[in-house]
Amino acid sequence: MKRTHYSSQITPEMNGGSVTVCGWAHEIRDLGGITFLIVRDREGLVQVTLFKKTIDKNLLEIVRNISRESVVTVTGNVKKEAKAPNGYELVPTDIKVLGKAESPLPMDTTGKVDADLDTRLDVRFMDIRRPHTQAIFRIRHLILNSIRDFMDREGFIEITTPKIVATATEGGTALFPITYFEREAFLNQSPQLFKQIMMSAGLDRVFEIGPIFRAEEHDTRKHLNEATSIDIEASFLDNQDVMVILENLVQRVYSDVAETGSKYLRTLGVELEIPGIPFKRITYDEAISIASDSGDNIEWGDDLSTESEHYIGKTIGEHYFIIDWPTKIKPFYALPYENRSQVCRAFDMMHPRMELSSGAQRVHSYDLLRRRITEQGLNPDGFDFYLKAFRYGMPPHAGWGLGVERLLMTMLGIENIREVVLFPRDRRRLSP
Ligand code: ATP
Ligand code: MG
C-alpha cells in the first residue's frame, strides 16, 4: 500500500516499471471492452486502464464497485501510451479501496457543476479536493515560505506572542471576550504590544505570522473575524526603513510565487505581474484631495471610505503607500511628527483594491506614550505591562502588520476573502 510516486512523478519513460499511487477515485468509465479508473492525488491525475480481455476479473470487479471519491491505492505497470492524458497509463496488478465514499456526494469535485461559496465552505474538505481550490492554498504555502525566508535573510527572528490577553491592544476595535478561569480575558486583535516589548528585550528585529481576532460586525468581502497577520517590529529603524522592507517583501513574494507556483497559477488562470519598486508614496492630504475628485469630500482627520480607497486605487493603478496620517485616527503608538503633532509617522500600504498593511514609527518615549494613551481616551493603568518595557531602555523602533489573506486574494484577483481561508470565521460562520 505504501505510495512509491505522486502522479506528477510518473513519466512515460518509466515504461514497464511498477509504481504504487494513492488517491481518490476521480472518475470511473466503463466502456465495455475497456475500463478507466482515474485516480486523483494531490499533484494530479493518473489513468488506470483495465483491458477486459487480459485483466484479472477480480480487479475489474473491484473497479466496477468503487464509488466516486473513494480512497484507493493502485499498484501497476507504467505503459507508455500517447493517447493517455499524461502520455502513459497504468496497467494495474493490485487495487485496494482504503476508504469508501458514500453516494450521492455533497458536492461535485470535477468542476463540471458549479457550487455556491456557502455550499463549498460547508463541505470544505470536498471543495479543497478540487485542483482550483487547492491551488489557492498551495500558493498560500509558497507565500509563507517566501516570507519566512525573506525575514530570515533580513535578520528577523520569528516569535509567537499570546493570543489570550488581559487588555485591548488599542481602543476602538471590538474584542472577543473569553472566560479565563475566574477572570475575563480577550482574544488578541494584534501582536502589537508584545512585539514592541521585544524591542526593549533587545531582540532587535522580530516577526510573527499568526492569528488576529476582530469582533467587528462588518460583513464585507475583505474582512474576517479571524485573520492571519504578518507582523514585524525592528529597532533603530524608522517608518521609511520599514516601508522599504515592506515593498521589498511584497516584490519578493510575487517573484517567488511566479517562479515556484507557476503550476498553480496556471490552474487558477492567473498571470502574475510583479509589482515594481519603490511603490508610489502619497500623503494623506494628497489622498483626500484625489478622493474629492470623485465627489467624495473627506473632512481632514476622517478615515478614507471604501469608495474613496477604490477611487484612489484606480487613479494610481498599482501598489502604493499613504503616508503622514492624522494622529487622531491612528493608534496611540504611532509617533507624531515633532513639529506638527497633528500628523504622525504612520503609513498604510495599499493594493489598488484595498489596504494590505498598516505601520508606523512608534512612540518610544515613556512619557509621550502615556500621554498618547490618555489622549486616545484609554486608561494607561491597563497598559502597565506594556509601559514598563519603555521605562528601562527602549530603543526607537518601527514596524507594520500585513494581512496574509488580503495579500493572497489581491495577488490572485480573488473577490471574496472567504475563498482564501480554509475555514473562514465571519459574522455568520462558526462551523466548520
Ligand atoms: P481595515 O481598515 O481595512 O478594516 P484595519 O486598518 O482595521 O483594516 P489594521 O488594524 O491596520 O487593519 O491591521 C493591519 C492589516 O491586517 C490590515 O491592513 C489587513 O491586511 C489585516 N487585517 C486587519 N483586520 C482584518 C480583518 N478583519 N480581516 C482581514 N484582514 C484584516
Ligand atoms: Mg490599518
Q: Which domains are present in the chain?
A: 7-99 (2.40.50.140), 131-279+318-420 (3.30.930.10)
Give the nearest ligand 1 atom to 355 CA: 18
Judge whether 127 and 105 are in contact, CB under 8 Å.
no
- Pick the residue whose CA is nearest to atom 18 on ligand 1: 357
356 Cα–ligand 1 center, Å: 7
Kindly list the protein residues that place their beta carbon closer than 5 angstroms to ligand 2, a single-atom ion. Answer: 358
21: nearest Cα among 84, 119, 92? 92
355 lines ligand 1 (CB under 6 A): yes
191 lines ligand 1 (CB under 6 A): no
Q: What is the number of residues in the chain?
A: 432
Integer CA distances (angstroms), 403 to 60, 188, 213, 295, 424, in order: 51, 15, 12, 30, 14
| Residue 63, helix vs strand vs coil | helix
pTM of structure: 0.96
Integer CA distances (angstroms), 389 to 316, 321, 374, in order: 40, 30, 18
In the chain, DSSP finds a helix count (H) and a strand count (E) of 12, 16
Judge whether 270 and 413 are in contact, CB under 8 Å.
yes
Give the nearest ligand 1 atom to 225 CA: 27
403 Cα–ligand 1 center, Å: 7
For residue 408, the cross-strand partners are: none
> In the prediction, which pLDDT does 171 show?
62
- DSSP code of residue 407: H
Q: What is the pLDDT along the chain (432 residues), one digit of tens a residue?
A: 699 999 999 999 999 999 999 999 999 999 989 999 999 999 999 999 999 999 999 999 999 999 999 999 999 999 999 999 899 999 999 999 999 999 999 998 877 778 899 999 999 999 999 999 999 999 999 999 999 999 999 999 999 999 999 876 666 568 999 999 999 899 999 999 999 999 999 999 999 999 999 999 989 999 999 999 999 999 999 999 999 999 999 999 999 999 999 999 999 999 999 999 999 999 999 999 999 998 888 999 999 999 999 999 999 999 999 999 999 999 999 999 999 999 999 999 999 999 999 999 999 999 999 999 999 999 999 899 999 999 999 999 999 999 999 999 999 999 999 999 999 999 999 999
- DSSP code of residue 274: P
Please state, in angstroms and rounded to a whole number, the distance separating the CA atoms of residues 118 and 125: 13
Closest ligand to 192 CA?
A: 1
327: nearest Cα among 338, 314, 319, 313? 338
Please state, in angstroms and rounded to a whole number, the distance separating the CA atoms of residues 263 and 330: 41
The identity of residue 140, as a single letter, is R
